[in-house]
Copies of this chain bind each other. A is one copy, B any other.
Amino acid sequence: MKTYILIGLLLIGGANTAVAQDHVVKYHATINDVKYVYASVPPVARLKSGDILDTNTLDCFGNAIQKPGDTLSMVKGDNPLTGPFYIEGAEPGDTLAVKVLGLEVDGNQGVGSLVPGFGALNETNYTPMLHPPLPEKIFFYPIDHTANTATFQALDSHFSVKIPLHPFFGCIGVAPSGGEARSSIVPAEFGGNMDSPEASVGNTVYFPVNVPGGLLYMGDGHAAMGDGEIAGTAIEVPLRARVQVSVIKGQKINWPRFENDDAIMTVGAYRPLDDCLRIAFTELVGWIHQDYGLSELDAYELLSKVAKIHLNEMVDPNYVVVASIEKKYLPMKKK
């Protein structure tokens, strides 16, 4: 664990010249210092509100799957997490904002896998049946950094096709509330394994601060993913990442949120999907009511006409839905 303080040297996300005067904290993660639970443990680095963090994440297999013949039995733990990062001044009841400034695939291939006991069309730990599980399969996805694509190659025929890259954090979250510690495969109120493509460049993600310092974790990079992540994996990759953290004092939220110039977005993470939707939409109604001034019932009606739903995943211990509305449909934000 090593922490450097730099000033204004932006290696990725070159458009961010406006933040040239921000502090940049660098931290390099290896398999020796990753974590497998979101919990309140000593941080690997400390940041100030407004600081930029340059770091990296291992892939969901701890980078253990590298070549044909490698198997899931070589994986020591799922979703190794980089962190936690302590953000000065963040206290329970505050909100932590994490703006994603830059994300790059850290390597030349991605990995996909059919995992026995995992996946939306497979019997699993939490939807068990008497069938034998589907077989383990490993797929390698060569990355073309110039063309910005990954290539799917069928195992049972000669078909291949290129897929545009959209890198994002499968895992991003903070220490849970109430003294809980949660596995890195779980998404919940603290964020975590949300598998949200919204956790990508250009978006800000908000978390409730549950413990002093917030304690931010990241991992499980995805080069691209289909809605629902139905077979249980995306194109799994290590990432190099740049994010900017800010503490919003005295603003309490209950579930993670996303925002960009165009839209506000809320997260619902639970089972079944029906309840994910109810969580995401009551949060979105509340956000619109509180910050944009529409009555709750007007907001409900408006969302019934213009809302978007992004079903992120239906494979983790909790499922994840993001509900959103474009800002162009909203009144001016209240000051």
Taking beta carbons and an 8 Å cutoff, which residues of A are in contact with B? Answer: 36-37, 39, 112, 114, 119-123, 126-135, 137, 139, 141, 150, 152, 154-157, 159, 161, 163, 178-183, 224-235, 270-275, 277-279, 281-282, 285, 293-298, 300-309, 311, 314, 319, 321, 323, 328-331
A173 to chain B, nearest CB (A): 14
Determine whether the beta carbon of A230 is less than 8 Å from that of B281.
Answer: yes
Determine whether the beta carbon of A183 is less than 8 Å from that of B180.
Answer: yes
CA distance A234 to B301 in the complex (A): 9
A308 to chain B, nearest CB (A): 5
Which B residues are CB-close (under 8 A) to A279? 126, 128
Which B residues are CB-close (under 8 A) to A120? 277-278, 281
A295 contacts which of B156, B295, B305 (Cβ < 8 Å)?
A: B156
Count identical subunits in the complex. Answer: 4
Which B residues are CB-close (under 8 A) to A132? 131
A131 contacts which of B131, B180, B235, B294 (Cβ < 8 Å)?
A: B131
A287 to chain B, nearest CB (A): 13
CA distance A229 to B306 in the complex (A): 9
CA distance A217 to B208 in the complex (A): 29
* A-B contacts besides A229-B304, A270-B271, 14 pairs, CB < 8 Å: A37-B180, A122-B130, A123-B131, A127-B278, A130-B300, A137-B301, A156-B298, A157-B293, A159-B294, A159-B331, A226-B308, A228-B304, A233-B304, A272-B273
Closest 9 pairs (CB-CB, A-B): A231-B304, A273-B273, A156-B295, A226-B307, A227-B309, A131-B131, A272-B272, A181-B181, A128-B282
CA distance A227 to B129 in the complex (A): 18
